[in-house]
Chains A and B, each alone.
Chain A
Amino acid sequence: MKQVAISQESKGKIQILNVGGFMDMREVPKFEQALDKLIKAGLCNIVLDLSNLEYISSAGLGAIIGSIREVRRRGGDIKVGGYSAPVFDILKTFGFTEVFETYASRQEALKKFEG
């Protein structure tokens, strides 16, 4: 069974969630919890690095959308910094590229936060 692997780093006030693997319906709760933990801790500037993510289900996108509204209310944001080709196709199909900022690399996303 393919699974999701999530690791977390901090760059100053920005949190980077490195999300890899295969995120089907069953694996979404892990991702949701990781986002929740950051938001509850008041860490609202989040970069999602999806470079190693093969697949994201619509529920996974739902988790991002739910969180993005919450962090924006608190003055933060979630930006995608890095994605794999299949994940970018999914983001584009769903129109998510219009709803949050997506950058090809983590550095670009970090730069946008800082500047």
Chain B
Amino acid sequence: MTAQALTGELKFKRGIGLKFKFSFAIILLIAGVMGLVTEVVRYRVKDRLLDQMMVKGQALTRGLAANAAEALATDDRARLAVLVDQVLKQEKGIVAAALVDENNLILAHTNFKLEGQVYQQPAQAVLEHYASGRVGQYRLDGEEVLDFEVPILVSGTNQDVRKRIGSAHILYSLQPINEVVRETLTNIFFVAVGGMLFGILVSLWLVNRITRPIRRLADATEVIGRGNLDLRLPVKRRDELGLLSAAFNHMAANLKSAQADLIIKERLQNEMEIAQRIQNLLVPNDSPKIQGYSVARLYRAAEEVSGDYFDFIDLGKGFWGMTVADVSGKGVPGALVMAQTRSVLRSVASQTHSPGKVLSKTNQLLYRDLPENMFVTLSYLVLDGPKRTVTISRAGHLAAIIYRKATKGCELEMPTGIAIGISDPDTFDLMLTERTVKLGPGDFILLYTDGVDEATNTAQELFGSERLIQALHEAANYRASGIVEYIERAVHHFVGDAPQNDDITMILVKAEEGEAP
């Protein structure tokens, strides 16, 4: 199975890419600017050329009218024909010239076929009137023309009134102007297309420059997503994309360390669970029923630290071995040492009723095998049920507490002894002692681990042996299970909301009232 199958495909439907968007935007921009330029150019150029044409046209027509005045007055047709033909040669844009009489009958025309006819001019053609005449614009034979007209006047009998005897016409074609404008626009168009192509190339290059690192980032993100957190990107650029790459690397590093932490945490958690499972297998589920006694045990494993165990061993004929132990190590190693200790102790206990000999042999067997920084403290007692005696030995463990009903007092049984696994058998045996005590009716003996007296509240105060003994006094009349529950409640009440930081283990044997079995 590939990692990709595990994490699923990247779900992304690619739409319009940045390249296209940028190119489109640039084309739009250039087209807009060019359109604007085109309009401006069209009107400016056309206006300028028209103005020039107006000035020239008026001047020429005035000239024609002045020159033709005498010939018209004398009706010199030949002279008039020469004048209009001369005008035609003056400029390229002039398409026709004509002279008419006061009734607009054509007297002379560059197109001599029209002579004798009435001068045709559309009624609405007048564009502009000016001091010496007027100009009209209209289509003539499919061609747009400007028709300049200047009246020819002569002085009449009355000095103040001048009499019109005819008009001079000169027709300019607008074709050249339109051609110039079209040419200019064509030039602009080509410049615009060139600009767009250049713009597209530039935008492709820019977009490529931007998207290549982005695509690299996207690829890298996918790689990270598949679980390869070692990937790092080069940070070459000093712009936003460089920042993005640096941020990406930072993220990858953080993810990696977070993942490492998580793995360690999970491994520890796992180990703790295994340890706890082993531990639960090792401790008895029930307290034994022993005639004439009530027996109870309490076992509350802390969440993280697991090192306690306890055991009841039936030695036969009313003899019982009982132990409470604390392994100085947690997790799987602690649980394994516990399992080892339990097996050794069980097998040794079946051979003798002397707790001292049991512990001595246990140390001898375990001393070389335990890890160097680990040891086991334990108290081991042998109850002689019928005789109502308890013999106790202690390997570095807390004292046993004996409550005497008769005196309402507590005694600490603390025979000397070293923890198992820290000293050679000679030293261990030298220090090891046994104590035997008699249990009267209502007396009881408590074995416990430091999770009880070192239970800590939020103010970091210890529950302590004094509070424990106080609780024993208060609960002394209950049966064993009642006393144990009472202690548990007292500890619980004292600790409050503080977390339980060590296992709590107790076993309690109480000699009930009445005759021994």
Q: Which residues of A come within 8 Å of B, CB atoms?
A: 1-2, 22, 24-25, 32, 55, 58-59, 61-63, 65-67, 69-70, 93-96, 98-99
Judge whether B373 and A62 touch: CB under 8 Å.
yes
6 more A-B residue pairs beyond the given contacts A94-B377, A95-B396, with a C-beta to C-beta distance below 8 A? A22-B460, A25-B330, A58-B375, A62-B374, A94-B418, A98-B418
Measured between alpha carbons, how far is A99 from B326 in the docked complex, in Å?
19
Measured between alpha carbons, how far is A58 from B397 in the docked complex, in Å?
11
Q: What residues of A have a CB within 8 angstroms of the CB of B501 in the complex?
A: 24-25
**Contact pick for A96, options B330, B397, B422, CB 8 Å:** B422
Q: What residues of A have a CB within 8 angstroms of the CB of B395 in the complex?
A: 95
- A36 → chain B, closest Cβ, in Å? 11
Q: What residues of A have a CB within 8 angstroms of the CB of B487 in the complex?
A: none
Judge whether B398 and A93 touch: CB under 8 Å.
yes
**Contact pick for A25, options B374, B427, B462, B502, CB 8 Å:** B502
CB of B515 within 8 Å of the partner chain: no
Q: What residues of A have a CB within 8 angstroms of the CB of B328 in the complex?
A: 58-59, 61-62
**Contact pick for B422, options A2, A55, A99, CB 8 Å:** A99
Judge whether B431 and A95 touch: CB under 8 Å.
yes
Q: What residues of B have a CB within 8 angstroms of the CB of A69 in the complex?
A: 372
18 inter-chain pairs at a CB distance below 8 angstroms, sorted by A residue, are A2-B460, A22-B460, A25-B501, A25-B502, A58-B326, A58-B375, A59-B328, A61-B328, A65-B373, A66-B373, A93-B396, A93-B398, A93-B414, A94-B396, A94-B419, A95-B396, A95-B417, A95-B431
Measured between alpha carbons, how far is A59 from B306 in the docked complex, in Å?
12
CB of B450 within 8 Å of the partner chain: yes
Judge whether A95 and B460 touch: CB under 8 Å.
no
- Per the 8 Å Cβ criterion, residues 429-481 of B in contact with A are 431, 450, 460, 462
Residue of B305, B329, B419, B423 most packed against chain A (CB within 10 A): B419
- B281 → chain A, closest Cβ, in Å? 23
- Per the 8 Å Cβ criterion, residues 296-353 of B in contact with A are 304-305, 307, 326, 328-330
Measured between alpha carbons, how far is A98 from B330 in the docked complex, in Å?
25
**Contact pick for B416, options A1, A22, A25, A95, CB 8 Å:** A95
Judge whether B372 and A61 touch: CB under 8 Å.
no
Measured between alpha carbons, how far is A40 from B396 in the docked complex, in Å?
30
**Contact pick for A99, options B329, B372, B427, B460, CB 8 Å:** B427
Q: Tell whether A58 pairs with B450 under 8 Å between CB atoms, given A65-B375, A95-B431.
A: yes
**Contact pick for A62, options B305, B375, B427, B431, CB 8 Å:** B375
Measured between alpha carbons, how far is A58 from B502 in the docked complex, in Å?
11
Measured between alpha carbons, how far is A63 from B395 in the docked complex, in Å?
18
- B307 → chain A, closest Cβ, in Å? 8
Measured between alpha carbons, how far is A95 from B450 in the docked complex, in Å?
15
Residue of A25, A61, A93, A95 most packed against chain B (CB within 10 A): A95
- B205 → chain A, closest Cβ, in Å? 58
Measured between alpha carbons, how far is A37 from B359 in the docked complex, in Å?
35
Q: What residues of A have a CB within 8 angstroms of the CB of B431 in the complex?
A: 95, 98
| B449 to chain A: closest residue by CB | A58
Q: Tell whether A65 pairs with B460 under 8 Å between CB atoms, given A25-B501, A93-B398, A94-B377.
A: no
- B399 → chain A, closest Cβ, in Å? 8
Judge whether B372 and A66 touch: CB under 8 Å.
yes
| A1 to chain B: closest residue by CB | B460
Q: What residues of B have a CB within 8 angstroms of the CB of A59 in the complex?
A: 328-330
**Contact pick for A63, options B373, B397, B414, B460, CB 8 Å:** B373
Q: What residues of A have a CB within 8 angstroms of the CB of B330 in the complex?
A: 25, 59
| A2 to chain B: closest residue by CB | B460
Judge whether A98 and B423 touch: CB under 8 Å.
yes
Measured between alpha carbons, how far is A24 from B455 in the docked complex, in Å?
12
- Per the 8 Å Cβ criterion, residues 480-517 of B in contact with A are 501-502
Q: What residues of A have a CB within 8 angstroms of the CB of B502 in the complex?
A: 25
Measured between alpha carbons, how far is A102 from B32 in the docked complex, in Å?
96
State the 4 A-B residue pairs at the shortest beta-carbon distance, nearest first.
Answer: A66-B373, A95-B418, A94-B396, A58-B328
Judge whether A58 and B418 touch: CB under 8 Å.
no
- A24 → chain B, closest Cβ, in Å? 7
- A67 → chain B, closest Cβ, in Å? 8
Measured between alpha carbons, how far is A68 from B228 in the docked complex, in Å?
44
- B324 → chain A, closest Cβ, in Å? 14
Residue of A1, A58, A93, A96 most packed against chain B (CB within 10 A): A58
Measured between alpha carbons, how far is A2 from B330 in the docked complex, in Å?
21
A interface footprint on B262-305 (CB within 8 Å = 1, 0 otherwise): 00000000000000000000000000000000000000000011
| B432 to chain A: closest residue by CB | A95
Measured between alpha carbons, how far is A1 from B499 in the docked complex, in Å?
13
Judge whether A65 and B305 touch: CB under 8 Å.
no
Judge whether A99 and B423 touch: CB under 8 Å.
yes
Measured between alpha carbons, how far is A69 from B422 in the docked complex, in Å?
9
Q: Tell whether A93 pairs with B397 under 8 Å between CB atoms, given A22-B460, A63-B373.
A: yes
Measured between alpha carbons, how far is A32 from B374 in the docked complex, in Å?
13
- A93 → chain B, closest Cβ, in Å? 6
- B453 → chain A, closest Cβ, in Å? 11
| B307 to chain A: closest residue by CB | A58
Q: What residues of B have a CB within 8 angstroms of the CB of A62 in the complex?
A: 328-329, 373-375
Measured between alpha carbons, how far is A4 from B164 in the docked complex, in Å?
128
Measured between alpha carbons, how far is A85 from B31 in the docked complex, in Å?
94
Q: What residues of A have a CB within 8 angstroms of the CB of B450 in the complex?
A: 58
Q: What residues of B have a CB within 8 angstroms of the CB of A2 in the complex?
A: 460
Q: What residues of B have a CB within 8 angstroms of the CB of A96 in the complex?
A: 396, 418-419, 422
| A94 to chain B: closest residue by CB | B396
